[in-house]
A and B are shown apart, each in its own frame.
Chain A
Amino acid sequence: MAAHLSYGRVNLNVLREAVRRELREFLDKCAGSKAIVWDEYLTGPFGLIAQYSLLKEHEVEKMFTLKGSRLPPADVKNIIFFVRPRLELMDIIAENVLSEDRRGPTRDFHILFVPRRSLLCEQRLKDLGVLGSFIHREEYSLDLIPFDGDLLSMESEGAFKDCYLEGDQTSLYHAAKGMMTLQALYGTIPQIFGKGECARQVANMMIRMKREFTGSQNSIFPVFDNLLLIDRNVDLLTPLATQLTYEGLIDEIYGIQNSYVKLPPEKFAPKKQGDGGKELPTEAKKLQLNSAEELYAEIRDKNFNAVGSVLSKKAKIISAAFEERHNAKTVGEIKQFVSQLPHMQAARGSLANHTSIAELIKDVTTSEDFFDKLTVEQEFMSGIDTDKVNNYIEDCIAQKHPLIKVLRLVCLQSVCNSGLKQKVLDYYKREILQTYGYEHILTLHNLEKAGLLKPQTGARNSYPTIRKTLRLWMDDVNEQNPTDISYVYSGYAPLSVRLAQLLSRPGWRSIEEVLRILPGPHFEERQPLPTGLQKKRQPGENRVTLIFFLGGVTFAEIAALRFLSQLEDGGTEYVIATTKLMNGTSWIEALMEKPF
């Protein structure tokens, strides 16, 4: 069903099947017909676990979105609320239940908390007088959702803000729980590395949780050789830069949500001869993007400048394949051609879609403004003119370009200069407040609290040291046939991925000095294994590293890690986990405050 999850070194279908089983078991507990009332935020992530067909098989007949007042009528025996444990949602549920009670024939109510049951929420339900109305109150520990054969995400949008701004470590607790689930399925991970305050916390919780389960010895042979936990605030730079891989650009321009993207429909109008394209579709074109699609798997991680040539090569191959039909003479040959037809048609459809997407993206990337913006970003990242007010940014503000774009650039400059001179910072802030409104001072405060924007304090700019030691800026980039991860940003090598790369070879000892400059502790922990489970690696066999980005990861970083996995002498293959798949825009947006 989700074959693409089992292509990688680690079969993530095992995880998917485990969570599906758990879901089925819960549904079967509530015997009879049912309606699900959804916390809207959950529908996206759930779609990756179970389609409607699975729910239907278990007598789910209706689905509603959780809203105040009364539930829509439904002739079912059970009503199940699928919710995140949030107080405001409890208030809505109580309203639903109370108005339902007044309505007459009683139904059975249940709650499924995702990913964790909450005493706080249950107390609220009790205070509202409805706790007793629920027959089953259970939790569904859907922490890490498999997105692809090498990618897991918690899709917890608030994780970065909660951890770094509010000091709320709930998402870290869920992350640790998720790691325990993963270890239950894939064996104890013998070695844990980490960098950053949150990484330390998660490792501590994991070790503690392991102690809590002393009774049950995990007897599964470990699939992962080690785990690298890394805080987003160790590398604030990378997400601010514009991603230049195919998938990264799709995400930057259109936003990928739970592996789906919505695109402007014009380019996808069916081209029928004679129709003259009278009726243009008005609804956005929704496409799922993952490695189940062969062509997408091939081009997603390429630098966008290398995508065009692949597409045209593919086009030639496909049309040649269709031409084959003229050569098919015998019945056998025709039969064989016909048998290949569905696959060929799918390939042609896929090619058409991606050609359209590539055209859409090209319209953006060839624009003068995109070029100017990229130039400024690259100047900052390579250390040019980071210490004075930038003309381009000034003009963007004066022309009232989108605020997020401006904030991304100012933050990028600040990070690349280890903070801005007070005068420069105040100038930008003042310009932003006057142009976009004084209310954004709250957003600016948030960015300052998160360290994205800050005044330079006494100490000299440490970014050049970091840049040089970690080779973050590479002048000779081969976008077509990359030899280094820096291809994903056409010159800039993502810091986070560089840390992973250096950990694998030659080890972090070589970069102690830089690690001390970067925030938070770095550490190593071992989880002892019984001798029977200790792994002896065959010569030439790659290590499998699970790398967990606490606070989010971008598609470009994922592409860089996949590039490292595919290197023949790389020695390490990566499985990536994160609290949220994000980009600079969604990141800054989550940190913004809109008081009205």
Chain B
Amino acid sequence: MDCYTANWNPLGDSAFYRKYELYSMDWDLKEELRDCLVAAAPYGGPIALLRNPWRKEKAASVRPMLEIYSASGVPLVSLLWKSGPVVSMGWSAEEELLCVQEDGAVLVYGLHGDFRRHFSMGNEVLQNRVLDARIFHTELGSGVAILTGAHRFTLSANVGDLKLRRMPEVPGLQSAPSCWTTLFQERVAHILLAVGPDLYLLDHATCSVVTPPGLPPGVTSFLQMAVSFTYRHLALFTDTGYIWMGTASFTDKLCEFNCNIRAPPKQMVWCTRPRSKERAVVVAWERRLMVVGNAPESIQFVLDEDSYLVPELDGVRIFSRNTHEFLHEVPVTSEEIFKIASMAPGALLLEAQKEYEVQQKDVSDEDVARAINQKLGDTPGVSYSDIAARAYGCGRTELAIKLLEYEPRSGEQVPLLLKMKRSKLALSKAIESGDTDLVFTVLLHLKNELNRGDFFMTLRNQPMALSLYRQFCKHQELETLKDLYNQDDNHQELGSFHLRASYAAEERIEGRVAALQIAADAFYKAKNEFAAKATEDQMRLLRLQRRLEDELGGQFLDLSLHDTVTTLIVGGHNKRAEQLSRDFRIPDKRLWWLKLTALADLEDWEELEKFSKSKKSPIGYLPFVEICMKQHNKYEAKKYASRVGPEQKVKALLLVGDVAQAADVAIEHRSEAELSLVLSHCTGASDGATADKIQRARTQAQKK
């Protein structure tokens, strides 16, 4: 399935290796793999497990179970082991399970646990017992080799045509070999074993010492050996952490590698394939997997779990409690297809497959989408929305949606989602993008698609969209805006809405007042008493203005309260002005300013004077001076200047141009600020004397 180059690991200059999952294992193992005898049939065949209680010192109290699983861990059979202790198991080429017992008996079972037959590896074994056994495959068939307690080997090259061969003795052998394997040369099976620094090759008749060419000195022991699937190559792992790789005939060394790990590997197997570019072995320790070959660097993987390696014709299978993986050299053809910017026919075919996969009917959408994503990744120029559009074209809406998840550009996601009538999903995608135009577009779709209630409900859950839609309504659909506020019980905004309406929509005064009344009610509901009261005041004012227009003529409507009072004063309707300002509780200070300004505008100086004497001015008399001067009436201004309080007296006198008297007051106040203010006004020719006077006062002040 997976052929994307992300998991390609280079080994040397020429070859890539990759490891990927074949299956996640269905089995539910109670045991650790390391506590079991394991036998996996080649060519991806079944796996047999037998808990190996005999390995422990104590005698078994419970009988173990023999379990057979498919390669993906589907249990095929499990049966109680009633026979003797088993040393080793293996599968024959016919997929029969061979269980080699300690006593040299080999029990043969079928794939489904059916007992087929049994045979013995010789009487000699009965005394010495089997220490170790191997099941191996050659062109002659499946064979069994055993190592006995007397450190002797017996083998049968073909269990289908049982002929036992007792191998010659290794001279002076006192202990079991550190490692051994079967070889197959010139249609004859041999045994290769390592004892200390020496390697011995046993055939039917002879025992010869062999020396691997180019093996560096200093090796005191071989910890592991591996022969390739085709028996052509041999690898040796020494106690110095050195790996020798060469021909199984010991004629040539292919390469060597020093992994600097002295711990004995759990397993070592060849990883090659027909027409391999590279010859490599895979070495496994408890938590580490290493691929080494003719390259200065190895490829390393971490093993998360206790794992078991199965050499295959074209690579290595690795299974554990949870997964079943395949590790192999990337074939040349794959390389041609997947290497960057390849135009090889296979690469073009992949494009076609992508299309095909989209059209596949029997795989879940999720899987197809993921598979396509794994193939394409975030490759620049790949448009997931294009592929999704194609999927939709094939009637696979769900797949299209899954594919769109991989599209990073929301601008591309949204239109297709809309086309597929997934408007709500489109809405969240649009909001995510921040592109308000996109959000608007989806909103208008939703509006047509859903009934009003559902539409509003959708908006309610998306505040950003709701705000935008309100904006839209403000300019395009005022009535909808009102409904939106109503739905949310947003009385404050409803109040504002009706306020606006009273100005914009209503011509007649009754209509305006009615709209204001609704606004005021809404403000009360919003607990905004101030706004409610202000709105009621406005209603009151409107009615009053209408009456004033009726009774007095002229223009009153839409004037502010302040301007209404001013207009009344200017029109000589002082009583009404008084009444109005009392009704609306205009503060005294502002009322004085208002009257002052109105009377000065009228240039009704007599009335102004009367007003100024009506009571003590709450704003003082400087404003009177200022306003008269603004109207260029110095005569009137002077009347008020005398009434200005001491704090502002200098300012007032200066305003009416009485520099000399201003100087006197300033001197009297002994205020430096006032003195300099007056001095800055001494500009006229006649002010010379005053200026001198001030200077004298200053000097005097300094003396004191």
Using a CB–CB cutoff of 8 Å, the interface residues on chain A facing chain B are 85, 87-88, 116-120, 123, 162, 166-170, 172-173, 176, 201, 204-205, 208, 211-212, 214-216, 394-395, 397-400, 426, 429-431, 433-439, 441-442, 445, 593, 595-596
List residues of chain A with CB within 8 A of the CB of B433.
205, 208
**Contacts A426-B530, A441-B534; is A119 near B561 (CB within 8 Å)?**
no
| Interface contact B503-A439, CB-CB below 8 Å | yes
Q: Which 3 A-B pairs have the closest CB atoms?
A: A215-B380, A167-B467, A398-B593
| Interface contact B464-A167, CB-CB below 8 Å | yes
**Contacts A208-B433, A398-B593, A433-B534; is A168 near B560 (CB within 8 Å)?**
no
**Contacts A119-B437, A399-B597, A595-B503; is A87 near B560 (CB within 8 Å)?**
no
Task: Out of A172, A398, A437, A595, name the residue touching B499 (CB < 8 Å).
Answer: A595
| Interface contact A168-B467, CB-CB below 8 Å | yes
The distance in angstroms between the C-alpha atoms of A1 and B630, with both chains bound, is 51
The distance in angstroms between the C-alpha atoms of A208 and B408, with both chains bound, is 9
The distance in angstroms between the C-alpha atoms of A48 and B594, with both chains bound, is 47
The answer to the question of B78 belonging to the interface, with a C-beta cut-off of 8 Å to chain A, is no
Task: Out of A117, A173, A438, A442, name the residue touching B500 (CB < 8 Å).
Answer: A442
User: Which of the candidate stretches B395-403, B470-478, B641-649 sits at the interface with the other chain?
Assistant: B470-478
| Interface contact B503-A438, CB-CB below 8 Å | no
| Interface contact B437-A120, CB-CB below 8 Å | yes
Contact bitstring B450-471, A, C-beta under 8 A = 1, else 0: 0000000000000110111011
The distance in angstroms between the C-alpha atoms of A436 and B558, with both chains bound, is 10
The distance in angstroms between the C-alpha atoms of A437 and B564, with both chains bound, is 10
**Contacts A201-B434, A399-B593, A435-B560; is A430 near B381 (CB within 8 Å)?**
no
List residues of chain A with CB within 8 A of the CB of B593.
395, 398-399
Measured CB to CB, the closest approach of chain A to B85, in angstroms, equals: 61
The answer to the question of B409 belonging to the interface, with a C-beta cut-off of 8 Å to chain A, is yes
Task: Out of A88, A168, A208, A429, name the residue touching B436 (CB < 8 Å).
Answer: A168
List residues of chain A with CB within 8 A of the CB of B230.
none
Measured CB to CB, the closest approach of chain A to B522, in angstroms, equals: 12
Task: Out of B408, B432, B504, B561, name the residue touching A434 (CB < 8 Å).
Answer: B561
The distance in angstroms between the C-alpha atoms of A3 and B537, with both chains bound, is 59
Q: Which of B554-595 contact A (CB under 8 A)?
A: 558-562, 584, 586-587, 589-590, 593-594
| Interface contact A430-B534, CB-CB below 8 Å | yes
**Contacts A394-B589, A395-B593; is A436 near B467 (CB within 8 Å)?**
no
17 A–B contacts from the bound complex (CB under 8 Å): A120-B437, A123-B441, A167-B464, A205-B434, A211-B408, A212-B408, A214-B408, A395-B593, A399-B593, A399-B597, A400-B562, A433-B534, A435-B590, A436-B560, A438-B560, A441-B535, A593-B500
| Interface contact B441-A438, CB-CB below 8 Å | no
| Interface contact A214-B434, CB-CB below 8 Å | no
The answer to the question of B271 belonging to the interface, with a C-beta cut-off of 8 Å to chain A, is no
List residues of chain A with CB within 8 A of the CB of B470.
166-167
**Nearest B residue (CB) for A172:** B434
**Nearest B residue (CB) for A425:** B530
| Interface contact B463-A214, CB-CB below 8 Å | no
List residues of chain B with CB within 8 A of the CB of A120.
437, 440-441, 444
| Interface contact B434-A173, CB-CB below 8 Å | yes
**Contacts A212-B409, A434-B562, A438-B560; is A119 near B475 (CB within 8 Å)?**
no
**Beyond the given A169-B436, A431-B590, A438-B560, could you list 7 further A-B residue pairs with CB under 8 A, ordered by the A residue number?**
A167-B463, A168-B468, A173-B435, A426-B530, A434-B584, A435-B562, A595-B504
Contact bitstring B265-280, A, C-beta under 8 A = 1, else 0: 0000000000000000
**Contacts A214-B378, A433-B534, A438-B537; is A166 near B471 (CB within 8 Å)?**
yes
List residues of chain B with CB within 8 A of the CB of A394.
589-590
| Interface contact B560-A442, CB-CB below 8 Å | no
Task: Out of B438, B471, B589, name the residue touching A398 (CB < 8 Å).
Answer: B589
List residues of chain B with CB within 8 A of the CB of A215.
378-381
| Interface contact B434-A438, CB-CB below 8 Å | no
| Interface contact A435-B561, CB-CB below 8 Å | yes
| Interface contact B503-A596, CB-CB below 8 Å | yes
The distance in angstroms between the C-alpha atoms of A208 and B560, with both chains bound, is 51
The distance in angstroms between the C-alpha atoms of A568 and B150, with both chains bound, is 92
List residues of chain B with CB within 8 A of the CB of A167.
463-464, 466-468, 470
| Interface contact B441-A119, CB-CB below 8 Å | yes
List residues of chain A with CB within 8 A of the CB of B440.
118-120
**Nearest A residue (CB) for B408:** A212
| Interface contact B530-A429, CB-CB below 8 Å | yes
**Nearest B residue (CB) for A162:** B471
The answer to the question of B373 belonging to the interface, with a C-beta cut-off of 8 Å to chain A, is no
Q: Which of B249-272 contact A (CB under 8 A)?
A: none
The distance in angstroms between the C-alpha atoms of A216 and B597, with both chains bound, is 70
| Interface contact A118-B437, CB-CB below 8 Å | yes
List residues of chain A with CB within 8 A of the CB of B541.
438
The distance in angstroms between the C-alpha atoms of A64 and B530, with both chains bound, is 48
List residues of chain B with CB within 8 A of the CB of A123.
441, 444
| Interface contact B378-A169, CB-CB below 8 Å | no
The distance in angstroms between the C-alpha atoms of A205 and B411, with both chains bound, is 13
| Interface contact A596-B558, CB-CB below 8 Å | yes
